[in-house]
Amino acid sequence: MDSALFDPLFDAAGVAPLFADASRLQAMLDFEAALARAEAACGIFAGSEAETIARHCRAGLFDTAAIGRAAPAGGNPAIPLVEALTAKVAAVDPAAARWVHFGATSQDVIDTATVLLLRRLHPMFEERTAALAAILADRAAAHRDTPMVARTFLQHAVPTTFGCKLAGWLDALLRHRDRLAELEGRLFVLQFGGAAGTLAALGEKGPAVAARLAEGLGLGRPDIPWHGHRDRLAEFAGWLASLAGCLGKMAQDLALMMQTEVGELAEPGEGGRGGSSTMPQKRNPVACTLVLGACRQVPELAGSLFATMLQEHERGLGGWHAEWRILPELCVLVGGALARLQETLAGLEVDVARMRRNLELTDGLVMAEAVRIALVEALGREAAGRRLAAACRRARTEGRHLREVLAADPEIVSRLGERKLTALFDPAGYLGAAPAFVDAVLARYRERGEGRSGA
């Protein structure tokens, strides 16, 4: 449903116009023009007749609303479109009109048109995922060694680096780029099988026409028509849903880090963005909100499209029809989420000092694992665990820093030494392999030739 109020919230990438009536109609007409030329090239009828048909394959010549009103009678808009095209051609060349849509079926028209539209959309997903990857790579390199709290179960765990968090997002995004490249050959293929997938109306020339048609449209030619086999579109829907999960995870982490009590990040705030209608002090994570709003709609839509794979025999009953609105909506939502997140991360404000202060919120408890490992070497596993657990309880109940509690234990001080005990509470000294993980992801990013970034 088109909405001037709500479409701008979710279609930040401008995907919706690609699936507008005129665009979809033209894609169907592109199929008809290419079909006529392919059949003429195979000697089924004259080239001049094919060109007459092709000249009338322009969406602007047709009454889209009238085609829509007539569509319920046949169950799809291709039938009235072919009737209208045939009438227009017949008005100037009755002989040529006999060959309009010859040997094809409605599903050939609509499926191939869908593939053509997805191929037009494909560069947007390629370019925007590449741009987002570049932003993540640059920021991961810049914050390779920036300490922050790692959170598990929404609680402070141990130190990590902001670069490591960003590198994790980048690593997942690169896998999605790989998946997109892998599915191209399976998705961008012709649908042409005629009435029941045999091209019987074209006789022995069917395969030759299919080859010419695929070539004319710049699509791959499958070994067999796929009317009843919807895995190609389902695979793409699955990719969209998986990408939405990846983007939604980023947006959710970002929003949590923007909470007032955390305050480590902020969305770009120009133009009063993020304001509240009643609370002027607010700076809401509105972009993350919209990304999450979009991504939470995607799983159900993708699941509905997967349900359409249950097709009956050679051509299905209703499942194919259900795809027509679901797939465009998926593309709009995921494309919009991708654009919003790209913009947000490009202008993201990072408060490094706040990250450092948050590491101290638990009065040293965030460094308990580091102390425990050192104590295991000094006291043994069981004794170290028991002594440290007691010290953590005292620190919490008495409101004291864990280092202070441990420093009051003569045995711990004697075993570790005051200098080592103090050093154990430096978060920068307990980052583990976080910086190395960042380097590994950035190295793979650079090896792909998608950009240059370095720590």
3-class secondary structure, 14 = coil
Helix runs in 56-161, H state only: 64-74, 78-92, 94-97, 106-142
- Among residues 139, 177, 232, 315, the one annotated as catalytic is 315
Task: Return the H-helix or E-strand segment holding 245.
Answer: helix 231-257
DSSP string, 203-231: GGGHHHHHHHHHHHHT-B--SS--TT--H
d(CA 130, CA 183): 17
Task: Return the H-helix or E-strand segment holding 148.
Answer: strand 147-152
d(CA 114, CA 311): 18
Q: CA distances (Å), 156 to each of 105, 149, 152, 378, in order?
A: 61, 6, 7, 26
Q: Which long-range contacts (CB under 8 A, 24 or more apart) does 55-63 make?
A: 56/85, 56/88, 56/89, 57/29, 57/30, 57/32, 57/33, 57/85, 58/26, 58/29, 59/22, 59/23, 59/25, 59/26, 59/29, 60/22, 61/88, 62/25
Q: Which residues of 78-93 are buried (b: 16+ CB within 10 A; e: fewer)?
A: bbbbbebbbebbeeeb
Question: Is position 315 annotated as part of the catalytic site?
Answer: yes
Tokens standing for 426?
């430096």
Question: Is position 276 annotated as part of the catalytic site?
Answer: yes
- Among residues 273, 276, 381, 393, the one annotated as catalytic is 276
Furthest-apart CA pair in the chain: how many Å? 104
- Active-site residues: which are they? 276, 315
